[in-house]
Amino acid sequence: MNKTALGMAVRSIAAALAFAGSLAAAAPAAQDEILFTSNREGGVFELYRMAADGSRVQRVVAERGEAGEMSWSPDGTRVLFTARRGRQLDIFVASAVDGSVSRLTQDPMPSTAPAWSPDGKSIAYVSMRGGSRKIYLMDADGGNVRRLTDAPNDDELAPRFSPDGSKLAYLAAAGHTLPRVAVADLRSGKSRILSDNTERAFETAPAWSPDGQRLLFSVIKGQFAHIVAVAADGSGRTQLTSGEVRNNEPQWSADGLRILFTSVPAIAARASIHVMNADGSGIRKVHGGDNEILMARWSTDGTRIFYVEQEPAGGKIFSIDPAGQQARRLSGNEGFDMSLQVCCTRPQARLASAR
C-alpha cells in the first residue's frame, strides 16, 4: 500500500471511530433508569420510573399515594421513600417489580432521609424519636434498629454510606454550631467531625468519591458557597472553587475524574450546570439559561447528565452530554417532574405504563 492509500485508510478509520464515539456520547448508559417524583396523575407527588431515553414511564407503587424523599436500592429492585400516612411521616419500601409496599418505621416522630447500604442489607435514616435528630441504622426489613452514635446533643443529618459500606458520612450540629461533615466507622463505632468550622460556615450533605477515599461538599458562608474536597480522615482539605458564586450539590463522576455541580453567579438568580476536573481546574458551563435548573445527576457511565429544568409548564427532566451538546427532553407534558435519581438496572415491572 502506498503512502497516499495508507493515509486515506488511516483517516477513514479515524473518522469511523469518531463517528462511533459521537453515537456513544449521544446515547444514555444502556441500563440506566431514572427514578423521580411527579404529580402527573393529579394531586400528590408520587414515585415514577423511566428508561434513560424517556421511554417506559411507569408509576412505581401500585396504590396511589404521596412519596417524598427516595433512595433506590443498589440493584434497582426496591425503592425507599418517605410518606405521610395520617399524622406520621415514615419510611416505606416499594418493590420495583410489582409495586407492593411495606412500612419500615412507625413512630410518632418523623423518620426521614433514608439511604441504602451498598449491599442493600442495611438502611440509615434520621429520626426525631429522642427529641433531636439522630441517625439510626436498621436492617432492610425494618428490624434491628440501633443508633449510629452515642452523641447526646448533636443533631445528625444526611447519612451517606461509603462505597464499601464500612463508613457513614453525615452532618453533625452540636448545640448552636452549624452543620459540619462527620464520618463514623461502622465497625468500631467511632465517629469524628472533620472540621472545626472556625469560619462559622454551613457545610452541606457530603458525597463519597468512587474509591471511598474522599468527600465532596459545599461550604456556605454568607451569600456564597464553594466546593470543598477532604480525605475521609479529615486531612487534605481543599477548596476547589472561588469567586462570588453559590456552587452546590457536587457529585463525582463514576471514574472520579470530574465533578458535576450547580452554580448561581452572584449577579444571577438562576442555577446552571457546571463540570470541572477533580482538582478544581477546567470549570466549564454545561447548560443553563432562561429557566432554573433544579437538580442534576450523572449517568452511571458519565457520558450523560440528567437534570430537572423549571419550564413554564412545570419541572421537566432532560439529558445532555458533558460538553453541553445533544440536549433531550425526556418528560412529557403532564404535571411537574422532580427529585430524580439514576440507577443501574431495569428489573421487569408488572405495572401498567403511565403513558
- Kindly report the CATH number assigned to the domain that includes residue 223: 2.120.10.30
Rg (CA), the chain: 22
The verdict on residue 229 lying in a domain is yes
Give me the pLDDT at residue 176, please: 67
What letter represents residue 125's amino acid?
Answer: Y
Q: What sign results for the dihedral spanned by CA atoms 273, 275, 278, 283?
A: negative
Residue partners of 89: CB distance under 8 A and separation at least 6: 68, 82, 83, 110, 111, 112
Give me the pLDDT at residue 348, please: 60
CA dist 126 and 179 (Å) reads: 15
Give me the pLDDT at residue 16, please: 40
Give me the pLDDT at residue 2, please: 44
The verdict on residue 147 lying in a domain is yes
The verdict on residue 23 lying in a domain is no
Mode of pairing for the β-strands spanning 224-231 and 214-221: antiparallel
179, 182, 228, 343 alpha-carbon torsion, rounded to 10° = -100
Give me the pLDDT at residue 27, please: 46
Which grid coordinates are listed for 80?
Answer: 425507599
Give me the pLDDT at residue 251, please: 97
The verdict on residue 88 lying in a domain is yes
Query: What total of structural domains would you count in the chain?
Result: 1
- 131, 298, 337 from 152: Cα distances, Å: 11, 37, 39
Tens digit of pLDDT at every position of the chain (355 positions): 444 443 444 344 344 434 344 434 444 444 799 999 999 988 899 999 999 999 999 999 988 888 999 999 999 999 999 998 888 899 999 998 899 999 999 988 999 999 999 999 999 999 988 778 999 999 999 999 999 998 877 899 999 999 999 999 999 987 667 899 999 999 998 999 998 766 688 999 999 999 999 999 999 998 899 999 999 999 999 999 999 999 999 999 999 999 999 999 877 789 999 999 999 999 999 999 889 999 999 999 999 999 999 998 899 999 999 999 999 999 999 899 999 999 876 666 555 444 4
Which grid coordinates are listed for 141?
Answer: 426489613
- Dump the DSSP string for 222-274: TTEEEEEEEETTS-S-EE---SSEEEEEEEE-TTSSEEEEEEEETT-SS-EEE
The verdict on residue 291 lying in a domain is yes
The verdict on residue 9 lying in a domain is no
**Whole domain around residue 89: which residue ranges?**
32-343
In which residue are the cell numbers 452540636 written?
174
Give me the pLDDT at residue 350, please: 56
CB 247 within 8 A of CB 254: no
CB 215 within 8 A of CB 181: yes
The verdict on residue 14 lying in a domain is no
In which residue are the cell numbers 447519612 written?
159
Give me the pLDDT at residue 31, please: 76
The verdict on residue 21 lying in a domain is no
* b/e map 40-63, b = 16+ CB within 10 Å: beeeebbbbbbbbebeebbbbbee
